[in-house]
Structure 1
Amino acid sequence: MRKIDEQKKLKIKAAVMTLVDQDGLTNLTTAKVAKTAGVSPATLYIYYQDKTDMLSRIYESVKDELHLGLLAELSATAPDLAAQLRAMLQFSVTQYRQQPRAAHFVQALWTNPEALDEQALQHGTELDSALGQLFTKLVADQAYVNLSRPAFELIFATPTQLLLRQPTVSNEEVEQLIDVVIKAVQQ
C-alpha cells in the first residue's frame, strides 16, 4: 500500500476548490484537478475512489473547517434559543467573510447534492454536531414553527446566500437580515 502524502492531498483539495470557484462544478474533471494540483491523474485515485468520493470527502473537510469553533461559540452564548440562533448565524457570516472560496465551494455542492455521496449529505447533520444539537432544540421548542430540517436549513442559509451574491453587503444589512430570519421561524 502506498503512503499517504498529506501535501499532495492538500494540493488536490486546493485545486478542487480553485477549479470549482473559477469554472464551476459541472466543468470539473479529475484531469483538470490533477493538472492544477501538479500531480499525476493516478495520484488522485490513491486518495479517492472516484470524482464523487473526492468531492464528498473534500466537502466534508471544508464544511468542518467552516464550522470549527461553532460549538464553543454556542456554549459562550446565552441559553435562550433566539440568542443561540443569532450566534450561529453571525458565526456563519463571519466564517463566510473570512473564507469566501470555501463558502463558494460548499455552496456549489449544497446546491448540487447529486455530486455528493450519502455520507457527505449526512455529514454535519448528526445530532452530536453543533448544528444538530441546535436543530434538536429548535424542533422541541413550541415558540418556533414546525418546519422540516431542509426548510430550516434554507431559511438559515439566507444571510450567507446574500454574502455569496453580494460580498460587500454591509454588516448592518446582514444584522437586519438575521433579525428577519429569527422572526420568520418564531411562532
Structure 2
Amino acid sequence: MRVRDPRKEKAIRDQALAMIVKHGFDGLSMQKLARAAHVSPATIYIYFQDREDLILKLYAEISERMFAATLENFDPAMAFDEGLKVQWINRARYFLKHPMEMHFMEQIRFSPLHERAFRATGCKFNELMKAFVRNAIQRKQLVRVPVEVYWSVAFAPLYQLVKFHMHGKGLPGTGTFVLDDKTMLLTLDLVLKALKP
C-alpha cells in the first residue's frame, strides 16, 4: 500500500478545483489533472476512487467550510432581519475570500451530481435554514412563499453583487463596481422589505 501524502492530495484537490472552474466538469480528465498537480495518474487513485468520487469529495470539503462560515454567529431562533443579515455578511465574506469555491458551488448546483452531493453533506445546514424560515413565518416576520421564490429574493441579489465585485464592474456603462458595506446593507434592506408579510 502506498503512503498517503497530504501535500499531494491538496495539490490534486486544488488543481481539480481550478480545472473545473475554468473548463467545467467535462474539462476535468485524470490525465490532465495528474499533469497539473505534478503527480502520476496512479497517485490520484490513492486518494479518490474515480473522477466522480473526486468531485463529490471536493464538494463535501468546500460545502463544510462554506456552511461553517455561513453559520458563524447565526442562530435559527434569531429574528428574521437579524438572521438574514448575519447570513449575508458571512456569505459575502466567504465568497469574496474564496471566489473559485463560489464558482464551483454554482457549477455543481446545476449539475446532475448536486442532489446526491447535497444529500450527503447539507442535511444539517438545510434543517437549520428550514427552522430559521419556519420560525420567521410563525412570528409573522416573513411571507410564506415557495422555497425557490424565497431563495431568489433572499440570496440571489447578494450573489449578483458578489459577482459584480469579482468582475470589478457592474452593468454595461456603469463603470467599476466594488461591493462595500453601504451597498450591501442597502440591498439587504430592500430584500427585507420584499419578504415582509
The TM-score range, normalised by the shorter chain, is: 0.7 to 0.9
Q: Describe the shift of the 1:59–1:150 C-alpha distance in structure 2 as closer, same or farther (beyond 3 A).
A: farther
Q: Give distance in 2, aligned partners of 1:49 and 1:117.
A: 20
Deviates more, 1:36-45 or 1:160-169: 160-169
TM-score, structure 1 as length reference: 0.81
Displacement after TM superposition at 1:182 (Å) = 2.8
Aligned pair in 2 of structure 1 residues 84, 98: CA closer, same or farther (>3 Å)? same
**What is the CA–CA distance in structure 2 between the aligned matches of 1:124 and 1:182, rounded to whole Å?**
29
Q: Is the 8 A contact 1:86 1:182 kept in 2?
A: no
Structure 2 CA distance for aligned equivalents of residues 125 and 145 of structure 1: 25
C-alpha distance in 2, partners of 1:148/1:62? Answer: 27
| Structure possessing the higher radius of gyration over alpha carbons | 2
Q: How many residues align?
A: 182
5+ unaligned residues in a row in structure 1: which ranges?
none
Q: Give yes or no for the alignment of 1:137 onto 2:132.
A: yes
Contact 1:109 1:116 (8 Å CA) reproduced: yes
TM-score (normalised: structure 2): 0.78
Deviation at 1:150, TM superposition (A): 4.4
Q: SS of 1:74's equivalent? A: coil
Alpha-carbon distance in 1 for matches of 2:55, 2:13: 9
SS in 2 for 1:62: helix
- Structure 1 Cα separation of the partners of residues 191 and 146 of structure 2: 16
- In the alignment, residue 185 of structure 2 is paired with which amino acid? E
- For structure 2, which runs of at least 5 residues remain unmatched after alignment? 169-177
Give the equivalent residue in structure 2 for 1:66: 66
Question: How many angstroms does 1:98 deviate by?
Answer: 1.2
Residue 119 (structure 2) pairs with residue 122 (structure 1): yes
Instruction: State yes or no: 1:14 paired with 2:14.
Output: yes
Q: Deviations over 1:107-158 (max 9, x none)?
A: 221232x14461x1225532x33x5313222134232233444444444243
Question: Which one-letter code corresponds to 1:103 in the other structure?
Answer: M
| Alpha-carbon contact 1:56-1:117 (below 8 Å) kept | no
Distance 1:96 1:15 in 2: 19
Q: 1:170 to 1:116 in 2, by over 3 A?
A: closer
Q: Secondary structure at the match of 1:105?
A: helix
Per the alignment, in what secondary structure is the counterpart of residue 67 of structure 1? helix
SS in 2 for 1:65: helix
Aligned to 2:95: 96
Give the match's secondary structure for 2:185: helix
- Rate the CA distance shift 1:124–1:81 in 2: closer, same or farther, 3 A: farther
Higher RCO (Cα < 8 Å, 6 or more apart): 1
Structure 1 residue 65: deviation in Å?
1.8
Distance 1:102 1:13 in 2: 12
Identity of aligned residues (%): 22
Contact 2:30 2:41 in 1 (8 A): yes
